[in-house]
Amino acid sequence: MNGLKLLATGRALPSQTLSNDDMSRYVETSDEWIGGRTGIRQRYFCAEGENATTLAIEASRLALERSGIPAAEIGCVVVATSSGEYVMPSTASMVHGALALDENIPTLDVGAACAGFLYAVEVARGLLLAGGRRYALVVGTEQMSSVLDMTDRTTCVLFGDGAGATVFELDTEREYVSVQGTRSDMAIRSGCPSITQKVPMQMDGQAVFRFAAAIIPKCVQDLFAKGGRTMDDVDWVVCHQANERILDASIRRLGGKEKFYKNIDRYANTSAASIAIALDEMNEQGLLEEGQRIVMVGFGGGLTWAGIMLCI
């Protein structure tokens, strides 16, 4: 119990769309190769003036408006990102300022790569429980284009930029089950360990594929075991969108094909933003209804994973 009711969602996308054909201006590749191996058809990249902060603020403003909750009642802001505009100050603190939230609340960023959004939900729930407040703003935002090596065709075609935001309400009567895990590994890495040694995205794609295809079924089965549920009890499975073939391999192991939401064709891998963007799309299409049981699974660099099963 002590679950989270999903009150509202929002998403924000950069103004530039790049098709797979557009990517072949940077590297030797094709729509056939990218589409066939990953399911990706296009991605958004930030243009001048757009970044993980601007996207997070836009998505958060939408989610907050739609929730109908006064800004002063938001009890914490947790932002998942691995490509924030700054390491310091946190993106969460800038969202807090832009939305003029109450001064006496915690704001922080969570770095758990593509699993980040679900870690952020878990942290936000803990903060609400500890702080006695009811509402949390939880965001996933990424400018993956800022860490990509646009000469490396094995990585640059896979990622995109975007943000998704959610407003949750703590509800002591609502079901909530979560699992997390880590398998320390450098199979995906990026960032700026020092000013003189910037590290663009590097990845052992096949190792990550094997990890992801195994970890989604494990995570879902661990949630079911912990919560005493089966796939029959679930309305939706919303996984991090990294590769359609990873999702299909998981579906073959788990069943429930019609319950898995997919949108990687339009966004590519938006890392910590992907699950929140998917939730907002689903909401927009009227697919989410109060009381539904949803399973969410995130996985990525670290290597980390996280699963949450909740009734929205």
Ligand X SMILES: CC(C)(COP(=O)(O)OP(=O)(O)OC[C@H]1O[C@@H](n2cnc3c(N)ncnc32)[C@H](O)[C@@H]1OP(=O)(O)O)[C@@H](O)C(=O)NCCC(=O)NCCS
Given the rule CB under 6 A, which residues bind ligand X? 29, 33-34, 37-38, 114, 153-154, 157, 203, 205-206, 208-209, 212, 242-243, 269, 299-300
Query: Nearest residue by C-beta to ligand X?
Result: 205
**Nearer of residues 10 and 300 to ligand X, judged by Cβ:** 300
Residue of 20, 96, 156, 240 with catalytic role: 240
CA-based nearest residue to 306, from 257, 253, 238: 238
Nearest-10 crossing angle of helices 274-284, 116-131: 80
Minimum distance, C-beta of residue 11 to ligand X, in the bound complex (Å): 19
Least distance to ligand X, CB of residue 20, Å: 9
- Report in angstroms how near the CB of residue 303 gets to ligand X at its nearest: 9
- Which one from 76, 114, 156, 239 is the annotated catalytic residue? 114
Q: How far is CA 220 from CA 50, 196, 236, 237, in A?
A: 35, 41, 12, 9
Query: Measured from the CB atom, is 62 or 239 closer to ligand X?
Result: 239
Residue 240 annotated to the active site: yes
CA 19 to chain centre: 22
Q: Return the number of the residue (159 or 224) whose C-beta is nearest ligand X.
A: 159
> If you search the block for the tokens 């539904």, which residue do you land on?
292
Q: Tell me the closest approach of the beta carbon of residue 215 to ligand X, in angstroms.
A: 10
Phi and psi at residue 283, in whole multiples of 5°?
-60, -45
Cα–Cα distance for residue pair 4/312, rounded to 1 Å: 7
CA–CA dist 309, 312 (Å, integer): 9
H helix intervals, the chain: 20-23, 31-38, 52-67, 91-98, 116-131, 205-227, 244-254, 264-267, 274-284
243 catalytic residue (yes or no): no
Which CB, 37 or 262, lies closer to ligand X? 37
Q: Which of 20, 51, 243, 269 is catalytic?
A: 269
The nearer residue to ligand X, 17 or 24, going by C-beta atoms, is 24
**CB 301, min distance to ligand X, A:** 7
- The long-range contacts involving 206-210, CB below 8 angstroms and separated by at least 24 positions, are 208/303, 209/243, 209/245, 209/246
Write out the catalytic residue numbers. Answer: 114, 240, 269
